[in-house]
Structure 1
Amino acid sequence: MEVVVVIKAMKALFVIPALLVVLSGYAQEQDSVKVYKKRVLESAEIDILTSYYSQDGDNAAVSGGIGTEKLTDMAPSIIVSIPLNDDDVLTVDAGISAYSSASSSNVNPFDRDDADEFQASSGASSSDVWFNVTGSYSHSSDDRNSIWSAKASVASEYDYLSIGFGGSYAKLFNEKNTEVSITGNVYLDTWNAIYPIELRPFSPDGNGINNSLFTQNTITGNVNYSPSFTRFDSEGRNSYSLGFGFSQIINKNMQGSLALDLVRQQGLLSTPFQRVYFSDVADSFIEGFHLADDVERLPDTRFKLAIGGRLNYYINQMFVVRTYYRYYSDDWGIRSTTASVELPVKISDKFTLYPSYRYYSQTAADYFAPYDQHLSTDEYYTSDYDLSKFNASQYGLGVSYTDIFTGIHIGKLGMKSIDLRYLMYKRDSGLTASMISVGFKFVLD
């Protein structure tokens, strides 16, 4: 869970919002006053973003909490924001994520000789491409004190399809020094459940131990391998989120904000291809690979609550301090805290450095246990280390080039900014990861 949050959070670091320009201008002509509105977005903007992510570790959920967690991911995307008139902006965000995973390849580890949890298989699940398209529309009132937006999205991967929609409303008060907002989103997901290869023959329509996997290979350990396995009845998952925000300019040097997020999920919340092993069931092996006793099984509902705050302080023309804190809780037993600090250093009119540090700590879910430590009598169980107790640190360094006059041109596109960032992540469970991201912002002349 934490890694996924980290990966997704990186995209936001390189997108300069195009929907927050809320100034109005006034001019006087002779005896009458005529009101002029500054456009919310002066001209079309294009953000081109890409990132490369790599991780490694020895606690793969696909093989029940042991085995390689090697994964690489390349994720390019493009965001186009188009002003429709003075008040309205249409934004389209399209991206792909192409990954290669030694861990998920072991959904079927027997398509090669000498199956091993710590080696990658060459199966179909060893790589995949995720697609996402999101369209949003925003409208600002004439006085720029009210902003509402609506969005819709679709995302697809080899084992799921997600359709989402939502909207937000923001109101500014106190000469735009105070802002309150509300956001709501709904995601309707459908799994195409993929199960570990050795469990599939034991579903009601399978042929059990007579399957070719077992007749063509030798089972060692407990030779009477006969797991009690059933497929999930439903493959749908719905997520509903509601967020509240409050932002305040405290003085000329300080700005703060608070956010409250509520999330309700229902449906298939287990990952069907993640194995679980029971300590009270004798172990069975093929070529040294431990055959699964079952797959991860978790409750079909989950409620999440997160509350956080930001405090930014302008020290001088060279230094700004940005701080963030969040507390998270859910009804699966996880409690977590996140704290981060970023210190932008403006080294010239056009270049800024962004050193940062982020600390994360969480408790384990009620249903987590390490490899081969669950009991077959448990109702729910998982050995996914994203749901374990761990602490994590993330170190980052970025550099930004900004030219508001767009001196560099590529055809009719003027380059407004370039952002480059490197992040290094480490858990005390042994997982390590790194990511490098780059973003380009262009303005259509």
Structure 2
Amino acid sequence: MKIFKSIGFIVTLLLVASGYAQQDQDGVKTYKKRVLETTEVDFLTSYYSQDGDNAAVSGGLGTEELTDFTGTFVVSIPLNDDDVLTIDAGVSAYTSASSSNVDPFDGGQPADPFVASSGASSSDTWANLSGSYSHSSDDRNTIVSGKLSVSSEYDYFSLGFGGGLTKLYNEKNTEVSVNANVYLDKWNSIYPSELRPFASGANGLANGLFSNNTITGNTDYSPVFNEFTDETRNSYSVGFGFSQILSKNLQGSLALDFVQQQGLLSTPFQRVYFADVEDSFIDNFQLADAIEQLPDSRFKVAAGGRLNWYVNETVVVRSFYRYYYDDWGISSHTASVEVPIKLSDKFTVYPSYRYYQQTAADYFYGYEEALSTETFYTSDYDLSEYSTNQFGMGVSYTDIFTKMHIWKLGLKSIDLKFYKYDRDTTFSSSIVTAGFKFVMD
């Protein structure tokens, strides 16, 4: 109930602000430039692929192969001179050799951590719908915004809401902003198939999985397993921003973000193998000793800045740096640079490079490194120590006159990007993205 009261308060505040902003001090509506002249429609799509040998689903050992295709529509609608409503709807469909091994025994072939199972967990669809509303004051120096979102996939549901305030000063050369968001998530926990018969202390070896298959290695298979009693996860974030035009050719910005998470922060289907427990197998697949166990709270801090240098009408240099820290023991550094080069009035290319380095979480253990006496443990290599390099290239086409049309929509711009990402482990990925911006005639 408190959630809906908070949403109602945000909406009421925005509507009241909108009503007052329609008039000047003597009650007469004056002319002003619209925040958004006409409806804009963006279609965004991407194709992502990855591979590696450290799948968390199979305890840090196994294929990380995954492909994902995403399509998103973003529609921005001017409600009047001051207010803009934006609707964002997207669907992501993936196939994953890694997640298929949540149940490696349902595919009809010998189970193996480096071979995808063809069972039901090999693919899924994620869907998201969000709406945001922004109101700008008459002088355009104050912007108030609110947002509501919902997303879902086969084992996860998320509801989010938030708002923000932006103030401009010094003839719009200085910008200060604050935003806050809340996400209320719910797991539908799915556990590794060999652990499910042991739930609540049951004698799992009587299950059909074990009676129909031969256990090799340690035949007295006895995992540590209890189902999670709390399947909720709540995330609260607040961010502060500061932007300043430093000179005719130089602009800088700073950002500071805080995130607090509470609830189920472990991933229920990620296995862990203990160094002090003898291995058990069915086919070539090692049976889990336990599932990932992580603390039920996490506090994150990120601080960073951007510096954009407009060298001339042809070249711009965009640089970025961020430092991150959390109370799980991870700290990281991110640095990137992008150099848009304007080839003509319509075409721009922008090569980019990004470097990332992080320390390991206190609870990270590689394959068969954790001990059964530990309270918290994970073999998710996203929480390990590593560094990455990412190279990118993009090209954009812009036509401010929107000469090309599809129905009543004029094509304003096209953006194509390609990124290649490599860790100093076996993990690598690539992504191709495309964006098309249309404006309503």
Per-residue displacement from partner, 1:376-415 (whole Å, max 9, x unpaired)?
0000000000000000010000000011111111121111
Residue 281 (structure 2) aligned to one of 262, 271, 285:
285
Name the structure 1 match of 2:71: 76
What residue identity is the alignment partner of 2:421?
A: Y
Name the structure 2 match of 1:62: 57
Per-residue displacement from partner, 1:109-168 (whole Å, max 9, x unpaired)?
112221100000012111000000010000000000000100100000000100000000
Residue 415 (structure 2) aligned to one of 416, 419, 427:
419
Name the structure 2 match of 1:102: 97
Name the structure 2 match of 1:381: 377
Q: Percent identity?
A: 69
Q: Is the 8 A contact 1:371 1:383 kept in 2?
A: yes
How does 1:23-62 map onto structure 2 within 5 Å? Answer: 35-62=30-57
Query: Do the aligned partners of residues 77 and 34 (structure 1) sit closer, same or farther apart at CA in structure 2, a change above 3 Å counting?
Result: closer
| Residues 1:301 and 2:292 aligned together | no
How does 1:248-287 map onto structure 2 within 5 Å? Answer: 248-287=244-283
What residue identity is the alignment partner of 1:223?
A: T
Name the structure 1 match of 2:172: 176
In the aligned structure 1, how far is the partner of 2:45 from the partner of 2:201? Answer: 44
Equivalent position SS for 2:100 = helix
Equivalent position SS for 1:76 = strand
Offset of 1:34 from its aligned partner?
A: 9.6
Per-residue displacement from partner, 1:4-38 (whole Å, max 9, x unpaired)?
xxxxxxxxxxxxxxxxxxxxxxxxxxxxx995310
In the aligned structure 1, how far is the partner of 2:404 from the partner of 2:102? Answer: 49
Residue 310 (structure 2) aligned to one of 307, 310, 314:
314
Give 4+ residue runs of structure 1 displaced > 6 Å after superposition. none
Q: Is the 8 A contact 1:47 1:441 kept in 2?
A: yes
Name the structure 1 match of 2:118: 122
Q: Is the 8 A contact 1:200 1:206 kept in 2?
A: no
Name the structure 2 match of 1:235: 231
What residue identity is the alignment partner of 1:124?
A: A
Equivalent position SS for 1:379 = coil
Equivalent position SS for 1:37 = coil
| Residues 1:410 and 2:406 aligned together | yes
Per-residue displacement from partner, 1:418-442 (whole Å, max 9, x unpaired)?
0000000000011110000000000
In the aligned structure 1, how far is the partner of 2:376 from the partner of 2:196? Answer: 20
In the aligned structure 2, how far is the partner of 1:97 from the partner of 1:430? Answer: 25
In the aligned structure 2, how far is the partner of 1:45 from the partner of 1:145? Answer: 23
Name the structure 1 match of 2:148: 152
What residue identity is the alignment partner of 1:37?
A: K
What residue identity is the alignment partner of 2:435?
A: G
Per-residue displacement from partner, 1:165-203 (whole Å, max 9, x unpaired)?
000000000000000000000000000000000001111
Equivalent position SS for 1:357 = strand
Offset of 1:263 from its aligned partner?
A: 0.1
In the aligned structure 2, how far is the partner of 1:262 from the partner of 1:178? Answer: 23
Offset of 1:323 from its aligned partner?
A: 0.1
Q: Is the 8 A contact 1:145 1:173 kept in 2?
A: yes
Offset of 1:228 from its aligned partner?
A: 2.3
Gapped regions of structure 1 (runs ≥ 5): 1-32
Structure 2 length-normalised TM = 0.93
Q: Is the 8 A contact 1:189 1:236 kept in 2?
A: yes
Offset of 1:42 from its aligned partner?
A: 0.2
How does 1:420-435 map onto structure 2 within 5 Å? Answer: 420-435=416-431
How does 1:389-400 map onto structure 2 within 5 Å? Answer: 389-400=385-396
Equivalent position SS for 2:344 = coil
Per-residue displacement from partner, 1:347-393 (whole Å, max 9, x unpaired)?
00000001000000000000001001100000000000000000001
Aligned length: 413
Equivalent position SS for 2:390 = strand
Name the structure 2 match of 1:326: 322
Name the structure 2 match of 1:161: 157
In the aligned structure 1, how far is the partner of 2:119 from the partner of 2:67? Answer: 16
Equivalent position SS for 1:250 = strand
Aligned-pair Cα RMSD in Å: 1.1
Residue 84 (structure 2) aligned to one of 83, 89, 96:
89
Per-residue displacement from partner, 1:186-221 (whole Å, max 9, x unpaired)?
000000000000001111174411001111111111
Name the structure 2 match of 1:19: none
Q: Is the 8 A contact 1:322 1:341 kept in 2?
A: yes
Q: Is the 8 A contact 1:326 1:339 kept in 2?
A: yes
What residue identity is the alignment partner of 1:232?
A: F
Structure 1 length-normalised TM = 0.92
What residue identity is the alignment partner of 1:46?
A: V
Residue 440 (structure 1) aligned to one of 430, 433, 436:
436
In the aligned structure 1, how far is the partner of 2:82 from the partner of 2:203? Answer: 63
In the aligned structure 2, how far is the partner of 1:411 from the partner of 1:80? Answer: 16
Query: Do the aligned partners of residues 283 and 205 (structure 1) sit closer, same or farther apart at CA in structure 2, a change above 3 Å counting?
Result: closer
Offset of 1:97 from its aligned partner?
A: 0.6
| Residues 1:362 and 2:358 aligned together | yes
Per-residue displacement from partner, 1:75-114 (whole Å, max 9, x unpaired)?
0000000000000000000001100000000001112221
What residue identity is the alignment partner of 1:128?
A: D
What residue identity is the alignment partner of 1:313?
A: W
| Residues 1:345 and 2:341 aligned together | yes
What residue identity is the alignment partner of 2:286?
A: H
Per-residue displacement from partner, 1:301-321 (whole Å, max 9, x unpaired)?
000000000000000111000
Name the structure 1 match of 2:14: none
In the aligned structure 1, how far is the partner of 2:48 from the partner of 2:88? Answer: 20
In the aligned structure 2, how far is the partner of 1:349 from the partner of 1:411? Answer: 25
In the aligned structure 1, how far is the partner of 2:46 from the partner of 2:421? Answer: 15
Offset of 1:226 from its aligned partner?
A: 1.1
